[in-house]
Amino acid sequence: MSLIVLVALGLPALLILAAAGFWLLLRSRNMQIWLRSYLARPARPQVPGPVHILFCFVDHFEPMWGRADLETQRRRVDRWCQDYRALAGRHRDADGRHPQHGFFYPEEEYVAEHLDKIASLCADGFGEIEIHLHHDNDNAENFCATMRRFCNTLHERHGALARDPRTGELAFAFIHGNWSLDNSRADGRWCGINNELILLRELGCYADFTLPSAPSDTQTRTVNAIYYATDDPCKPKSHDRGEPVRVGGRAVGDLMIVQGPLALNWRQRRFGLVPRIENADIRRSCPPTPERVDAWVQTGIHVEGRPEWVFVKIHTHGTQEGDMDTLLGPQMDAMHDYLEKAYNDGERYVLHYVTAREVYNIVKAAEAGKQGDPAQWRDFILPPPGHRRGSTST
């Protein structure tokens, strides 16, 4: 119905303009992609016993960010190895474990001395190394060769990555640079491969941890879910939808997608009208406040049929100087204090700090019908990588 007709029928022009403006604001943040799915998603079922919070922190860890010189890179890595050890060492979950940091290291930024230092930190029980990749206008042959080479280097030189006992092959979690998994940008940049999910599966990737990516147009319609995506090798963004992981189900498709919380923050609105996007990103401009922690938990991401196991996956870009005071300072310290106070009373909530690998194992345990304390399934399928086996930390 045209604007003229609507006005003629008595609908105030101001209301029409407001609606049009609201729609334009939504589109400016690409919210039209996922808002309907978000609003239609059913609430997490209530559970009688304690809710187990599986808290996973993944980091697009890029020492060369901003084309930094080697000395700047070293300062960034050294600060993480020193300050994170001190920060995380002050905190423990219900199992007595420190917070676990997922260092998703970019292949194209490989420097052996940086990874030696991070591997040492991980060996002391503070996290695990996984794979990050930025690429553009790539092809399948080059992508596979690059990934195989990097997997072997991480494992052989730095003791990273688990070996799948079922296949004997190296296994890894993945985060795509610039959010562009499976060529998902509308302009086709920062990937170039429409069958990337298939290739990742064949290379040993057990799950992708890229999402959420809002407000980028790479964000999927599926939100707040753990699901299997099936690749259409002729089309991009095959992970836009998928089959939820469920208790009693089985692996289908090509790749498990583990999403972090995506929500609307009505307390902070643009122009007093459009809510801000809560996308589980931690940095100076969006610190980890108690209100945000509550929002992550309330999102209730879980395996269907196991609502008492709630997965909270947050992310950051940890080597940017403007954000490191937040990530390694009092605000992050306070976040862990709040988690351990509000979500670890042993009656309503039980807190577990987990790595990406452990998330995958616990998801697969839920799928297999395992119950009780999820911490017992941290190594359900994939064992710890080599740099963790010698650790004396619990």
pLDDT tens digits for range 308-339: 999 999 999 999 999 999 999 999 999 999 99
pLDDT at residue 268 in the model: 73
CA atoms within 13 A on the CB side of 361: 22
pLDDT at 265: 85
Q: Could you give the CA distance from residue 155 to residue 163 in angstroms, rounded to a whole number?
A: 9
Cβ atoms within 10 A of the Cβ of 183, count?
A: 21
pLDDT range class, residue 41, cuts 50, 70, 90: confident
Per-residue pLDDT tens over the stretch 336-380: 999 999 999 999 999 999 999 999 999 999 999 999 999 999 999
Strands (E), 317-374: 349-353
Residue 45 has pLDDT above 90, yes or no: no
Residue 18 has pLDDT above 60, yes or no: no
pLDDT higher than threshold 90 for residue 186: yes
Among the ranges given (5-19, 57-71, 345-359, 371-385), the one the predictor scored with the smallest mean pLDDT = 5-19
| Structure confidence by residue, pLDDT tens digits, 227-280 | 999 999 999 999 999 999 999 999 999 999 999 999 998 777 666 667 889 999
What does the block give as tokens for 354?
């987990």
**pLDDT: is 114 or 22 the higher one?**
114
Q: What is the pLDDT of residue 252?
A: 94
Q: What was the pLDDT predicted at 392?
A: 37
Please state, in angstroms and rounded to a whole number, the distance separating the CA atoms of residues 386 and 156: 9
pLDDT tens-digit profile of 136-180? 999 999 999 999 999 999 999 999 999 999 999 999 999 999 999
Q: How confident is the model at residue 390 (pLDDT cuts 50, 70, 90)?
A: very low
At 49, is the pLDDT very low, low, confident or very high (cuts 50, 70, 90)? confident
- Torsion angle defined by CA atoms of residues 371, 377, 378 and 380, in that order, rounded to the nearest 10 degrees: -140
pLDDT of 129 higher than 90: yes
Whether the pLDDT of residue 87 is over 80: the answer is: yes
Question: For the chain, how long is the longest CA-to-CA vector?
Answer: 77
pLDDT: which is higher, 24 or 83: 83
How far apart CA 263 and CA 266 sit, in angstroms, is 9
pLDDT at residue 130 above 50?
Answer: yes
Cα→Cα distances 40→37, 171, 294, 298, Å: 5, 35, 21, 16
CA distance linking residue 331 with residue 82, whole number of Å: 17
- Can you give the pTM of this predicted structure? 0.93
The pLDDT, as a whole number, for residue 391 is 42
CATH of domain 52-389: 3.20.110
| pLDDT at residue number 11 | 53
User: Tens of pLDDT along 89-128?
Assistant: 999 999 999 999 999 999 999 999 999 999 999 999 999 9
